[in-house]
Amino acid sequence: IETKSLSLDHTSTIEASTAGTGDAGSISIPDAEEVSLNRNSSISTAVNPGAVGNGGNVDIKTRSLTLTNDSEITSSTAGDGDAGNITLRAEQVTIQGESQVSATTSRVTNTDRGKGGNIKIIEANRFEATDGGNVRTTTEGTEQAGNITLEVRDDITLAGTGSGLFANTTRDSSGDGGNIFVDPRTVTIRDGAKIAVDSQGQGKGGSITLEAGTLTLNNKAELSAETASNQGGDITLTIDELLFLRRNSKISTTAGTAQAGGDGGNITINAPFIIGIRQEDSDITANAFEGSGGNITITTQGIIGLEFRENLTPLSDITASSEFGVDGTVNINAPQIDPSQGLSELPTDVIDVSQLIEKNLCAAGEGSEFIATGRGGLPISPNETLSPNATWDDWRITEQPQTRIRKRRSRSRQHQLQTNQPQTNNPKPKQIVEAQGWVIAPNGEVILTAHPVIVTPKGTWLHQVDCPMLQKTLGSGVGNRESGVGSR
């Protein structure tokens, strides 16, 4: 069918079937912008009861595929033959309101034998199955149910009771469950939706392989590979970021749900973080009734809210028990992180800093210099005693208050007024100058001087030793007050 838009409504049908000997025909829609089925409409290929042959294939390529209100795309066989395969290529796939995509086999007589067909939904960005919408490959006979493959780039959402992906076998069958593979960025399963490869008959459970960035199971959501009386299937989860279980959700490969034999299946989970709520009864189980419990292997950096327990409890559990057989095993592997990894190795040679300091100050002054400037020089070591000659300088830098500026401006105006007035011959008071140095007279008397004999740089107590001047001063008996008085 070559068209840009195909819309089926009110029980409309496109069908290719066989009622005799021979295969049913195939249906192909190669390049459509939109395909929609509504209100019990269908696209199907079938092998009718009593016929001998295989069902035809269904191949649809479109930008948008929508099934609503009990519509379906099916490939089925009720005779002696295999169901056909269904391949859907669509950017957006929406299945709602108990609509379905199915490839099933049903057994009308004991001689009818047929495998379930395979379903592939590929090249999609988003996939939604809600309000009972589902994809299934069920078998009622002796052969295996078909496989389901979803290659979706972004999101898969399964929501509502009856919604999900199913590769099951029915109660009276003897075939095995099919396999399901999905690999989107995000998977959300909620409100009773499931991904299941159960065997309700005598066969084994199938397998679920799920690869995603995040996987969320919420409100009675399930990943299930359970069996009624045979070995449980396997579930393998590879999660890049987070596995989140909420409100009675479960991951199960339990065997013997009909209180019969069969070993529990295996569960393998690789996820950085696995999070549940302790009181919400979300479980990871590989239990059995008469057979042995399955094996659960979890590799993670952390599990929050779920704990290993011998048996199921009202809390969130991880169990691999058996009612009457041997319990299974639960292995939780947490990678051991070595904190020394990634560190740079530092040199082990220790430098003796005492050998880097020149003890002869005069000799040091004749060579190179190292001057440390800053707030008062180098701080004193906490291990050294305080020097009695220690001084303190106020190096704080503060903003000039506006009042100080106003005072300066006021004094400047007063000075201008005074210069404009006639000057009087008032004697200038004698200014007292603070002593800045001292000398020793020949008679031994100490004379204070207005100027320092050796000028001390103002503002810091740290200065360079002037060896020639020191020797000359000591020889002439002249000193200065630097050894006793610090700078102001």
Phi-psi region of 78 (alpha: psi -120 to 50; beta: other; left: phi over 0): alpha
Matching residue, tokens 């011998």: 310
Residue 95 Cα to chain centre, angstroms: 30
Sign of CA dihedral 229, 245, 102, 150: negative
* Radius of gyration from C-alpha coordinates of the chain: 46
* H-assigned helices in 197-325: none
Q: Which residues of the chain have pLDDT under 70?
A: 107-113, 336-348, 350, 353-430, 454-488
Count of C-beta atoms within a 10 Å radius of residue 65 = 27
Residue 293: predicted pLDDT? 92
What residues does each domain of the chain span? 5-333, 439-488
Residue 229: predicted pLDDT? 87
Give me the amino acid identity at 281.
Answer: D
Count of C-beta atoms within a 10 Å radius of residue 104 = 24
Q: Which residue from 208, 194, 49 is spatially nearest to 135, judged by alpha carbons?
A: 194
Q: Residues 248-282, buried b or exposed e (16+ Cβ, 10 A)?
A: bbbbbbbbbbeebbbbbbbbbbbbeebbbbeebbb
Burial grade of 438 (CB within 10 A; 0-12, 13-18, 19 or more): middle
Query: Which two structure tokens, joined as six digits, stand for 171?
Result: 């109660």
pLDDT in tens, 303-349: 999 999 999 999 999 999 998 899 999 999 987 666 566 666 666 67
Give percent of the chain above pLDDT 90: 53
Q: Which long-range contacts (CB under 8 A, 24 or more apart) does 391-399 make?
A: 391/461, 391/486, 391/487, 393/459, 393/460, 393/461, 393/487
Phi-psi region of 269 (alpha: psi -120 to 50; beta: other; left: phi over 0): beta
- Decide: 164 and 171 in contact? Cβ < 8 Å: no
DSSP sequence for 202-226: SS---EEEEEEEEEEEESS-EEE--
Matching residue, tokens 């303190």: 392
Q: Residues 209-247, buried b or exposed e (16+ Cβ, 10 A)?
A: bbbbebbbbbebbbbbbbbbbbbbbbbbbebeeebbbbb
Matching residue, tokens 């988003």: 126
Q: Which residue from 231, 240, 172, 189 is spatially nearest to 207, judged by alpha carbons?
A: 231
Q: Are strands 186-190 and 179-182 parallel, antiparallel or unpaired?
A: unpaired
- Decide: 70 and 41 in contact? Cβ < 8 Å: no
How far apart CA 345 and CA 48 sit, in angstroms, is 76
Residue 478: predicted pLDDT? 45
Count of C-beta atoms within a 10 Å radius of residue 455 = 12
- The residues, any chain, with a CB within 8 Å of residue 66's CB and separated by 6 or more, are 34, 35, 36, 37, 38, 94, 96
How far apart CA 146 and CA 177 sit, in angstroms, is 8
Residue 213: predicted pLDDT? 97
What is the biggest distance separating any 2 CA atoms in the chain, rounded to whole angstroms?
146
How far apart CA 323 and CA 257 sit, in angstroms, is 11
Q: Which residue from 462, 458, 465, 456 is spatially nearest to 373, judged by alpha carbons?
A: 462
